[in-house]
Every structure is written in C-alpha cells, then in structure tokens.
C-alpha cells in the first residue's frame, strides 16, 4: 500500500488557511469561540443530546454564530473531537444521550475519511458498530458502510469487497446497501475502475463546477487533459498545482483541458484560490465532510494527485513532474511516426499508437 504522504489533509488541517489579513483571522477566531466553548464544556449524560443537537445544527449550516464566517474543516474536526472526548469521559446514562454520542462518532469518522485518515475512521466506525443497539439500523448501516470505505482507502480490496457484501446482506433496502452494491461492482470490475496507466481514466462526472455548470471528462476527449485532485486546506497544495498547470499551459494545453477537483472547498473558497494562486481551468468544489468519489475511483491515498490524460482518454502518467508533463505534451504534438528528441524513430508496435509510444518513453 502506498505510504500516505506528508502533504495530505491530515497534516494540513492543523494549519490555518493561508491568505487574509490579521483582522480576518481574529474575526474568525472570535466567531468560533462560542462553538469551541460549547464543545469543550463538561458533558453529562443529560446534557449530551442537547449539546450534540446544537453542534450538529451549526455544522449543518456551515457557518458560525455570526451567520457569515465559514466553519472550516480544522474547526469541524476540533469541535467534534472535543464533544466525543467529553462524552466518553462522562459516559451517558440515557438512551437519547448514548445515541447522540454514537452519531457524533459517526460524523467524526466521516470527516476522518474525507481527510484520508482511513485507520482512524475505521476505529471510530467499529466502535459505533459494537455499541449501537440492533434497533439503530441507520447508525449501524452507516458504520458498516464506513468501515468498507476505509478498507478501500487502505487498498485492502478483497477485505473491502467482503465488507461491502456484508452491508448488502445485512442492510437490505437501505441506502447503505445500494451504495455498497455500487462499490462492490467497482472493486470487482477488472481494475476496479481505478486509474491505471495505459487504461482509460474513469469518468469523474458529471460534476458541477464553481458556477454550477456540469462538467465531464468525456467532453474533453480529442485533446490532452490534466486532472488534479487537491485539498483547499493544504497550505502547499495550491502552489504545486499551479506549477503543474503552468507546465501544461507551456505546451499549449488550453484552459478548458485543465480540471481540478478541490476538496474541502465551496464556491466561495474556489474564488479565493483563483485570486490568491492564479489557478486556471475548471475548478470543481467538493464539500468539507464528503469523501469525494474521485478518491476511491482513482485510488488516491494522498493529495495533491494529478493525472495526464491523452486525447483518447488514456491515462499517460500519474503525478509526473513538471518537466515530464511538458515532455509528454510536446510528444503528443509531434507528427505520428516522427522521431523523438533523441532522434530514435518509433518502433513498429508504436506506430499508429502514440499513447503507447509515450508510455514506453
């Protein structure tokens, strides 16, 4: 299993987002102070349900008490961690409060999945599955499906397929069974629909971009494309993505062929990234608490990750350095059968198949 890289979200969420002035940062801290105080206060069994209900409503709204300041991913994690720890320190003595603690754990686990922390998510979901009463079908289904997704992210494909099958069998008629049925098909379908060099890159859409317009990979066929997945909460990711985009545009790839799926960002944050970093092309927002389908579909275990796609949709390279991006795109523009930079003519097997020739190079 590929090792999780140090630049992924789990490290990034500990840092405040770059950009904005001192006054803006102070304003955010003040606006979130009430939320933090509520979550950190001692929680008794009788209080837990009410406190969880209030916190859940605020997280669902996505803004602090001022109605404007967004609750960022790092803050969501901290608030949920504090509430769960407080509930565990004073175990709830009422069924309503016990259910509230289980729901808070599930929500925290979902966030850990979105941050590419599958082991921590798996532990939380397993705890919910052990403690949730049989009658709590939705909670148990949610936890069982979450465990299966965590196993996928850990690249334990056989175990993940078996876990999805258990969900299908045990939670018949629920949305979790439907979702696991789709996931199992993905896992058992040859390459599992994953991003493999030499095969067509799976479709990421239709997805809505920052303007609400539908976007697909299919509609970009006929020309090379660069598809990037990165987190808005990773301080270093934006600059790296910009560097890769510059390498692509230096080889005359048009903006329309640049696509970025931006994790943990809404349309407002997308606009800020464009202004701060000069990102180009199509930017597709992905919510704070969502395990984006692209992470599973493309087998992504760390971000940023980028894919260079040929005109026919074939994946040519995964995470190529800028110089390699330029080299591959320049090779695509050479007439078929022309010699490469070293003067060597293409082999007979490569003639008529430029994607194969590029992969060999």
Tens digits of per-residue pLDDT, 172-231? 999 999 999 989 988 877 544 567 899 999 999 899 999 999 999 999 999 999 999 999
Q: How confident is the model at residue 63 (pLDDT cuts 50, 70, 90)?
A: confident
Q: Is the pLDDT of residue 107 over 50?
A: yes
Q: What is the number of alpha carbons within 13 Å of residue 287 lying toward its C-beta?
A: 10
| Residue of higher predicted confidence among 70 and 38 | 70
Mean pLDDT across the stretch 81-96? 89
Write out the two tokens for 223: 């020309």
Q: Is 19 left (phi over 0), alpha (psi -120 to 50) or beta?
A: left
Q: What is the Cα–Cα distance from 264 to 233, expressed in whole angstroms?
A: 7
Q: How confident is the model at residue 323 (pLDDT cuts 50, 70, 90)?
A: very high
pTM of this structure: 0.74
Pick the closest to residue 187 from 296, 291, 306, 318 (CA basis).
Answer: 296
**Residue-range domains of the chain with CATH:** 9-188 (1.25.40.10), 207-360 (3.40.30.10)
């Amino acid at each position: 299993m590929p090792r999780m890289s140090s630049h992924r979200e789990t490290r990034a969420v500990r840092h405040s987002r770059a950009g904005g002035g001192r006054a803006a940062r102070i304003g955010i801290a003040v606006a979130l102070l009430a939320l933090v105080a509520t979550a950190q206060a001692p929680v008794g069994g009788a209080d837990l349900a009410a406190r969880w209900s209030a916190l859940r409503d605020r997280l669902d709204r996505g803004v602090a008490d001022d109605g404007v300041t967004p609750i960022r991913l790092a803050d969501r994690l901290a608030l949920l961690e504090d509430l769960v720890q407080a509930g565990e320190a004073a175990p709830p003595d009422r069924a309503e409060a016990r259910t509230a603690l289980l729901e808070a754990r599930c929500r925290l686990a979902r966030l850990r999945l979105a941050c590419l922390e599958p082991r921590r998510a798996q532990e939380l979901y397993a705890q919910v599955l052990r403690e949730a009463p049989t009658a709590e079908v939705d909670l148990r289904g949610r936890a069982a499906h979450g465990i299966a997704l965590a196993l996928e992210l850990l690249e334990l494909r056989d175990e993940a397929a078996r876990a999805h099958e258990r969900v299908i069998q045990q939670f018949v008629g629920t949305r979790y069974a439907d979702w696991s049925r789709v996931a199992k098909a993905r896992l058992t379908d040859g390459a599992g629909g994953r991003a493999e060099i030499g095969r067509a890159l799976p479709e990421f859409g239709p997805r809505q971009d920052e303007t609400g317009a539908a976007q697909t990979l299919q509609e970009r066929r006929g020309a090379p494309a660069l598809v990037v997945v990165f987190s808005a909460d990773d301080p270093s990711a934006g600059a790296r993505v910009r560097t890769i985009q510059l390498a692509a545009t230096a080889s005359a790839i048009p903006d329309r062929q640049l696509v970025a799926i931006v994790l943990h960002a809404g349309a407002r944050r997308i606009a800020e990234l464009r202004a701060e970093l000069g990102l180009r092309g199509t930017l597709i927002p992905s919510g704070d608490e969502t395990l984006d389908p692209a992470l599973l579909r493309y087998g992504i275990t760390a971000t940023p990750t980028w894919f260079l796609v040929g005109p026919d949709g074939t994946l040519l390279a995964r995470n190529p350095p800028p110089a390699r991006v330029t080299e591959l795109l320049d090779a695509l523009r050479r007439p078929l059968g022309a010699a490469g930079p070293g003067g060597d003519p293409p082999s007979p097997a490569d003639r008529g198949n430029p994607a194969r020739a590029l992969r060999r190079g």
